Structure 1
Amino acid sequence: MKYLILLILLQVDIEEKIKNAPDKGYEIGVAIGTYLPFVVLVIIAYVMFNRFKNRKDLD
């Protein structure tokens, strides 16, 4: 339940930002800034998963 509230509070209207963008460079920046944090979190989770999995195999 608390995650749902957090998700609602953190929603950003990307379409509105892109519609009001002054140029294409701003649109690209909005897209990168929106998706990059999620990509970084997925990569960190993948690396951590592999490290813990491999450490378990060594014991």
Structure 2
Amino acid sequence: MNIISLFQKVDIATKIKNAPDSGYQIGVVIGSFIPFLILGGIALWMYKRVKKETKTVINL
């Protein structure tokens, strides 16, 4: 997988304007939010893991 492909700009407004129907528009919007949700989930998991480890170290 090319790293360059991860940084390509995607013009969501153009995709929605050229959408064949409303289902495609919803898919584009959901697809644009998925990476942020995944990163947020990973950050939350890391936060809870560190918090749990800190709690066990303090109790020793």
TM-score between the two structures when normalised by the length of structure 1: 0.77
Q: Which residue of 1 aligns with 2:38?
A: 40
Residues matched between the structures, number: 52
1:24 aligned residue (12, 17, 22): 22
Stretches of 4+ moved more than 4 A in 1?
Answer: none
**Distance (Å, rounded) in 1 between the aligned partners of 2:52 and 2:21:** 47
CA shift for structure 1 position 19: 0.2
**Which structure features the higher share of helix residues?**
1
Unaligned runs of at least 5 residues, structure 2: none
CA shift for structure 1 position 57: 1.7
**Distance (Å, rounded) in 2 between the aligned partners of 1:42 and 1:10:** 21
Q: Which residue of 2 aligns with 1:11?
A: 9
Q: Percent identity?
A: 48
TM-score between the two structures when normalised by the length of structure 2: 0.76
